[in-house]
Structure 1
Amino acid sequence: MNTGKLSGYMKTILPILLGTAVYAFGLLYFIIPNQLMEGGVTGITILLKYAFGISPSLSNLVINIPLFFLGWKILGGRQIIYTGIGIGSLSFFLWIFEKMIDSGWIETFETDYILASLYAGVTLGAGLGIVFRFGGTTGGSDIIARILGRKYGFSMGQVILTIDIIIIGLSLFYVAKENILYTLVAVFIASKVIDFIQEGAYAAKALTIISDHAPQIADIVTRDMDRGVTLIPAIGAYSKQAKHMAYCVVSRQEIRRLTAIAKSVDPRAFIIISDVHDVHGEGFKED
């Protein structure tokens, strides 16, 4: 293996290791000490911990073995390699943090359920988001989420949220209802953090302006705002008349200004504003 390929692999593997470390820390520092829950296979390992005292690092590894082979079949060779790294590193970091907590090197957070659920959501979501962004999974429901995301375009955060709610609902037989409610807060926050990291930290707005005066609007935006505008030929379905649509991506702070320009040229302009994420190019994030 040449140096370039090795460097490329390490740029993927190291973030996966970081993500699983953050996720394992959130589980052992916030979730388990406060008798909270988690979804998917991780939720099952936590239930085994509560009921029988089985180490999550061990149960996570054992339960994920059949799911690992499912991922091998569906996700392909390189993907499953990163999944195996995620599964193995998660169990490893769970074991490391277990030892550190048992030896007293780390004191767990058991002060406030609200704060615990908030911090748990952020750490678990950040950990999984990093792992997903670099093409890995931690096994369990993560494999299912990635498969559904690839085949049907579902948001991974949404898939995991749905699976987690089902698993957490089943845990009502073993965990106090109050703790389940706090857990739902953590799960919801985690899903939002996952999507935030997956979609990119920089969120902008795309404006599609439908107007008989789109070229004039584009000229003013280009001149006064220094933003690129794309003119798209279109035909009105009702009028059958040819016209243009102006498409422009701006920061959130520039929405009002661009809208004002469009309305000053054509008060009847039809403007569509939509979210865009992780924008690359001149005026935004450069690669």
Structure 2
Amino acid sequence: MRWKSKIIWDITTFKKFLVILLGTAISGWTINALIIPHQFMSGGVSGVSLLVYYLAGFPPVGLSILLLNVPIFILGWREVSLRFVVFSLVGMVGLSGFVFLFTGATFPIQDDMLAAIMAGVFLGVGGGLAFRAGGSQGGVDIISIFLNRRFSIRYGHTLFSINIFILVVTGLVISIDRALYTMIMMFVSSSVLDRIQAGFNQRKSVMIISNAARTISQGILHDLHRGVTILKGEGGYTGQPQDVIYTVTTMLELGRLKELVWTKDPSAFIIVNDTVEVFGKGFRLQKSEDFSRKARKVVEKAEIP
């Protein structure tokens, strides 16, 4: 089932497309100028494409990224919101195109450590721009969303597992040195992306004060597939009853949530807070269930005379 998500084709949407393309341009240049010359890897589909290129010498990395993403986007078309698929498609096609365009690009760094750090910085900037605009640069995010909705597997677990697989294979078939440099690059990239995006995988608790609370809550339920709680409040000045929406989302979805809210109520008041941990369906279901089972056992033991 594909979750419906309306795309508003206005100047704001096209500006977001441009930001995504800017991010993919930076990433595409980085792959050619820093990653390939030093035989580093990358995360996700790009990493698999680079691994194939290093081992076989073909197909070109840009073409490989495109081909590997096709089945993923077919899956995403059926399982993920149309809006996210379209925005991610822009990022994927942009990344493939810019990898082709910047073929042969160079950067005057010979030292592998410096190259790994700089590659991480540029990849973090490129990925951060894409995520801020509500898109991504490949299909791994779609796989993560699919597995999360079908099997309650956390986004971070999927991304981590894929990247660990790439690093292990790199260490085995290329060299341990390349794998270690890639780890440094990924760490720097993740840190920079967090700075830009304030942690796209971080959970955010959001309170929304709006006269269209019911309409907005339905949009969150059906478009973002996130749970909502309606709190009963009262306007401090007017004294009138006021519904307040409370929900928890990921940083990746926060931009989409803001757009959804302001589309339905441009005057809505939105409060966003950092959340250290979230346990429950859609986030850390397994740990929450494990904790519940342990709690029940403690209670049962306490009740035994």
The 1:32/1:79 distance shift into structure 2, 3 A limit, reads same
The 1:150/1:128 distance shift into structure 2, 3 A limit, reads farther
Alpha-carbon offset, residue 19 of structure 1: 0.8
State yes or no: 1:84 paired with 2:83. Answer: no
The 1:21/1:146 distance shift into structure 2, 3 A limit, reads farther
Alpha-carbon offset, residue 32 of structure 1: 0.8
Question: What residue in structure 2 maps to residue 198 of structure 1?
Answer: 197
SS at match of 2:37: helix
**Which structure would you say has the larger Rg?**
1
Q: Residue by residue, what CA displacement relative to the aligned partner does 1:236-263 show, whole Å, maximum 9, x if unpaired?
A: xxxxxxxxxxxxxxxxxxxxxxxxxxxx
Contact 1:34 1:110 in 2 (8 A): no
CA distance in 1, matches of 2:148, 2:115: 30
CA distance in 2, matches of 1:49, 1:7: 38
SS at match of 1:33: coil
CA distance in 1, matches of 2:139, 2:108: 26
Alpha-carbon offset, residue 108 of structure 1: 3.8
Query: Normalising by the residue count of structure 1, what TM-score does the alignment of the two structures yield?
Result: 0.61
CA distance in 2, matches of 1:181, 1:60: 23
State yes or no: 1:66 paired with 2:65. Answer: no
Alpha-carbon offset, residue 165 of structure 1: 2.1
CA distance in 1, matches of 2:153, 2:12: 26
CA distance in 2, matches of 1:148, 1:174: 29
The alignment-based identity, stated in percent, is: 36
The 1:87/1:30 distance shift into structure 2, 3 A limit, reads same
Contact 2:171 2:178 in 1 (8 A): no
The 1:138/1:95 distance shift into structure 2, 3 A limit, reads same
| Equivalenced residues, count | 194
Q: Residue by residue, what CA displacement relative to the aligned partner does 1:16-58 show, whole Å, maximum 9, x if unpaired?
A: 1011111111111111100111122111111121122221011
Q: Residue by residue, what CA displacement relative to the aligned partner does 1:78-131 show, whole Å, maximum 9, x if unpaired?
A: 111111111111110000001xx2xxxx43445111101101111111111111
What letter corresponds to residue 139 of structure 2 in structure 1?
G
Question: What residue in structure 2 maps to residue 36 of structure 1?
Answer: 40
Question: What residue in structure 1 maps to residue 10 of structure 2?
Answer: 6
Query: Normalising by the residue count of structure 2, what TM-score does the alignment of the two structures yield?
Result: 0.57
Contact 2:44 2:138 in 1 (8 A): no
Question: What residue in structure 2 maps to residue 225 of structure 1?
Answer: none
Question: What residue in structure 2 maps to residue 118 of structure 1?
Answer: 117
The 1:30/1:109 distance shift into structure 2, 3 A limit, reads farther
The 1:153/1:52 distance shift into structure 2, 3 A limit, reads closer
What letter corresponds to residue 23 of structure 1 in structure 2?
S
Question: What residue in structure 1 maps to residue 283 of structure 2?
Answer: none
Question: What residue in structure 1 maps to residue 255 of structure 2?
Answer: none
What letter corresponds to residue 122 of structure 1 in structure 2?
V
CA distance in 1, matches of 2:167, 2:83: 32
SS at match of 1:34: coil
Question: What residue in structure 2 maps to residue 174 of structure 1?
Answer: 173
> What is the RMSD of the two structures over their aligned residues, measured on CA atoms?
2.6
State yes or no: 1:140 paired with 2:136. Answer: no
SS at match of 1:117: helix
Contact 1:29 1:108 in 2 (8 A): yes
Question: What residue in structure 1 maps to residue 61 of structure 2?
Answer: 56
Contact 1:133 1:198 in 2 (8 A): yes
What letter corresponds to residue 10 of structure 1 in structure 2?
F
Alpha-carbon offset, residue 162 of structure 1: 4.4
SS at match of 1:36: coil
What letter corresponds to residue 182 of structure 1 in structure 2?
Y
CA distance in 1, matches of 2:174, 2:112: 14
Stretches (4+) displaced over 6 A: 148-153
CA distance in 1, matches of 2:49, 2:155: 25
State yes or no: 1:163 paired with 2:162. Answer: yes
What letter corresponds to residue 195 of structure 1 in structure 2?
D
State yes or no: 1:127 paired with 2:162. Answer: no
CA distance in 1, matches of 2:188, 2:161: 13
What letter corresponds to residue 87 of structure 1 in structure 2?
M
Alpha-carbon offset, residue 142 of structure 1: 2.8
The 1:45/1:36 distance shift into structure 2, 3 A limit, reads same
